[in-house]
Chains A and B, each alone.
Chain A
Amino acid sequence: MNVPNNPRQLVDGMEKLSSIPLVYERLNEAMFSQRSNVGQISSIIMQDAGLSARLLRIVNSAYFGFPRRIDTVSRAVMVVGTQQLHDLALATSIVKQFQRIPDRFVTMESFWKHSVACGMVARVIAGLNRESNIERFFVAGILHDVGRLVIYERIPDLADEVFSRTTKAPAPLFRIEQETIGFDHAAVGGALINTWRLPGSLEESVRYHHMPQRAQRYRVEASVVHAADVIAHAMQIGSSGEHCVPPVDGEAWKFLGLKPENLSQIFELVDRQLEDVLKTLITD
Chain B
Amino acid sequence: MVVEEPIIDLHGTVLLQKSTVITQNSIKLLRMWGVLEASIDDESASQLVARDITPVAPEVIEGACSIIALLFQHTNQKDPFVAELMRLATNRIVQSKAGQT
**Which A residues contact B (CB, under 8 angstroms)?**
64-67, 123-124, 127-130, 134, 170-172, 230-231, 233-236, 243-248, 250, 253, 258, 260-261, 263-265, 267, 269
DSSP class of A's interface residues: helix, strand, loop or mixed?
loop
| 1/0 contact string of B72-101 vs chain A (CB within 8 Å) | 111110011111111011001100000000
B82 to chain A: which residues have CB within 8 Å? 245, 248
Report whether A250 and B79 are in contact in the complex, using a CB–CB cutoff of 8 Å. yes
Q: Is the CB of B81 within 8 A of A258?
A: yes
B74 and A127 form a contact (CB under 8 A): no
Write the residues of chain B forming the contact surface with A, with a CB cutoff of 8 angstroms: 5, 8-12, 31-32, 34-36, 70-76, 79-86, 88-89, 92-93
Task: Assess the A247–B75 pair: CB atoms within 8 A.
Answer: yes
Q: Say yes or no: A235 contacts B92, CB within 8 Å.
A: yes
Given contacts A66-B34, A236-B93, A245-B72, 8 further A-B contacts (CB under 8 A): A172-B74, A234-B72, A236-B71, A236-B89, A247-B74, A248-B79, A267-B92, A269-B10
Give the residues in chain B near A124, CB-CB below 8 Å. 10
- Residues of B near A66 (CB, < 8 A) are 34
A171 to B73: give the CA distance in the assembly, Å: 9
B10–A65 contact, CB under 8 A? yes
Known: A230-B85, A234-B88. A128 touches B12 (CB 8 A): yes
Q: Is the CB of A130 within 8 A of B73?
A: no
Nearest-CB residue, chain B, relative to A271? B92
CB distance from A202 to the nearest CB of B (A): 21
With A127-B11, A248-B81, A250-B81 known as contacts, the answer to whether A263 contacts B72 (CB < 8 A) is no
Partner of A244, one of B34, B71, B84: B71
